Amino acid sequence: MISVIKRRDFLRLSAIAAIEAGLFSIGFPRSSLAGAPAKEGLAYLTAVEQIQYFREGALSPVDVLTAQIERINKYNGPLNTSGRELKDYLKFNGQVNAVTYEHFGQAMQAAKEAEKRYKSGSARALEGVTVAVKDENDVRGWRVTMGSVLLQDAPPAGENAAIIDMLLSEGAILHIQTTVPELYIHSQTWSRLWGVTRNPWNLHYAVGGSSGGSGAALAAGFTTLATGSDMGGSIRIPASLCGLYGFKAPFGRVPTSETTFETLGPLARTFDDMVLMQNVITGPHPKVHAALRPKLDYPRTYGGLKGVRIALDYFESWIPEGIDPSVREALADAAAVLRGQGAVVDEVRLGWSYAGQYKTFMHGLLSTGIGAMLLNAGQHRDKLTSYAAHFLKEARNGGPEAMAAADELATRLHRQLQQDVFGKGYRALLMPTLATPYFPADNDPTTDTVMVNGKPVKGMAHVLTYIWNLLSRYPVVDVPVGIAGNNIPIGMQVVGNTFDDLAAFQVASGYSRTGLHLYKGDLFPDYRNKA
């Protein structure tokens, strides 16, 4: 008996065969890993591409999820490879180590349901698209550890966080939880509980934090989208180091918490995917008081940049060591791309410095709930990861006076921005995300230094993000603009005026169309392990 293959099934099988043969040239990236099967390109399909092929019946959500699970099994390493033995928490496991818990059975059932929705014509905005969940967002029945041995046996969440409600309501598939530094208080991702999360672009180097597991999972092809949160740069730092687009929305745009320093947001491999996810998670929600209304709609396409004025500050005065030449070169190249589109890019110098602002910001931040959480953990100080124990000491400097000082600093910087940048007609401000992309994955800010221009820099002085959490009403898009000599990507912050998200998106979109395109051609992570 000869079976008849339906058109939908034929398209699906043909698409998979084409990928396996390396013949699909439009939109299907190929893995650059030696000996890797070409079908791994399925795991790197953008959300926009996936939805198109799902609708046409050329692919199923089951196909993509299966490909991503295969990559997780191959490149992540056994769950908790570094072990829960405290003496082994910095052990190198030879793999990415970005996943805390897997939920493959639940996800596969959701993928099958999504397949049915596409066939019935009832698909939603993110139908069948995988989203990795940072180990912070509550999902009913899932355990949130916050990267701490103190919470390794915490009870499962009783209800979904608002962002999870919004993702599920639009058909997203939640398949993994991703690693974080303990209590989200470090710009890199390693902890006594989960060990070291390593960058797929170069396993020797860091993925950033605190949304580091989400960044690594995207770079490794473990997921299509990922949730992040940003309290001092926790979306933008992993975005920069993993070659991703990430968005720190102004306070209240995404239902998050009452802490003005913090916001939730998307991480994605492309600008269009970031927009797709942001449109799902923005707007009011009955569970969160601090959520702006009405909902803002983010277009994927914008008008040209001809005549648009953009300010650029290299932030070379931030620390005496300046910024790494690779960072300066990447931002200069990005400015050239924007000028090529007709934008007017002028260099400005705000004169801001780490020495003058970091402690004020940090003591203000530690006057909020994160500080209270650290103080509550103080009775178990011997079980805390080194940096968490360090910030426990700092938390004692929080309080009303520290918050008042942070508010005063925010007011002063805001007035300067309005006078020197946005008040002069600039549509956006460009600046680096980090002073250098060169720091090992297991760098300990309490004891180790980071080299910038051949000089050692202590602590987290190389981080250029947290000022926008103090100035929390400014939107910031992180855009990949280069690759350093260690094969680690370099990010640029695009800052819009207060609550003017679309200004930042317009500039980021303009760059994304003709600038650096990672995860295409030969620009894929290669899992090297070289300092």
For residue 42, is it within any domain?
Answer: yes
Rounded average pLDDT over 37-61: 89
For residues 22 and 374, the model is more confident at 374
Q: Residue 420 — φ and ψ, nearest 5°?
A: -100, -20
- Enumerate residues 6+ apart whose C-beta is below 8 A from 65: 107, 108, 111, 130, 173, 175
Q: Does the annotation count 234 as an active-site position?
A: yes
Q: Given pLDDT bands bounded at 50, 70 and 90, which one contains residue 80?
A: very low
Report pLDDT for 90. Answer: 59
Q: What is the rounded distance in angstroms from the CA atom of residue 391 to the CA atom of residue 384?
A: 10
Q: What is the rounded distance in angstroms from the CA atom of residue 380 to the CA atom of residue 299?
A: 48
- Is the torsion defined by CA of 277, 278, 284, 285 positive or negative? positive
Q: Which residue has the tokens 């760059």?
A: 511
pLDDT in tens, 103-112: 999 999 999 9
Q: Name the residue range of residue 88's domain.
A: 7-514
Angular region, 521: left φ>0, alpha ψ -120 to 50, beta rest: left
Q: What is the rounded distance in angstroms from the CA atom of residue 128 to the CA atom of residue 130?
A: 6
Q: Which of 31, 187, 210, 211 is catalytic?
A: 210
For residue 224, is it within any domain?
Answer: yes
Report pLDDT for 159. Answer: 98
For residue 524, is it within any domain?
Answer: no
Q: Which of 134, 191, 229, 512 is catalytic?
A: 134
Q: What is the rounded distance in angstroms from the CA atom of residue 370 to the CA atom of residue 314?
A: 31
Q: What is the rounded distance in angstroms from the CA atom of residue 407 to the CA atom of residue 251?
A: 15
Q: Residue 392 — φ and ψ, nearest 5°?
A: -60, -45
Across the chain, mean pLDDT equals: 91
Q: Is 112 helix (H, G, I), strand (E, B) or coil?
A: helix
pLDDT in tens, 382-407: 999 999 999 999 999 999 999 999 99
Q: Which of 31, 148, 211, 234 is catalytic?
A: 234
String of DSSP letters for 126-151? TTT-EEEEETTS--TT----TT-GGG
The number of folded domains in the chain is 1
Q: Given pLDDT bands bounded at 50, 70 and 90, which one contains residue 410?
A: very high
% of the chain beyond a pLDDT of 70: 89
Q: What is the CATH number of the domain that holds 65?
A: 3.90.1300.10
For residue 251, is it within any domain?
Answer: yes
Q: Is 100 helix (H, G, I), strand (E, B) or coil?
A: strand
Q: Does the annotation count 134 as an active-site position?
A: yes
Report pLDDT for 6. Answer: 54
Q: Over 90: is that where the pLDDT of 291 sits?
A: yes
Closest CA to 301 of 504, 506, 515: 506
The residues facing 458 across adjacent strands are 449
DSSP assignment, residue 248? Answer: E
For residue 519, is it within any domain?
Answer: no
Q: What is the rounded distance in angstroms from the CA atom of residue 463 to the CA atom of residue 444?
A: 14
Q: What is the rounded distance in angstroms from the CA atom of residue 403 to the CA atom of residue 411?
A: 12
Rounded average pLDDT over 301-325: 97
Q: What is the rounded distance in angstroms from the CA atom of residue 190 to the CA atom of residue 98?
A: 10
pLDDT in tens, 200-237: 999 999 999 999 999 999 999 999 999 999 999 999 99
Rg from Cα positions in the chain: 22
Rounded average pLDDT over 86-109: 80
For residue 520, is it within any domain?
Answer: no
pLDDT in tens, 329-347: 999 999 999 999 999 999 9
Q: Given pLDDT bands bounded at 50, 70 and 90, which one contains residue 33?
A: very low
For residue 241, is it within any domain?
Answer: yes
Range 152-191 burial, b when 16+ CB lie within 10 A, else e: eeeeebeebbbbbbbbbebbbbbbbbbbbbbbbbbbbbbb
For residue 77, is it within any domain?
Answer: yes
Report pLDDT for 36. Answer: 34
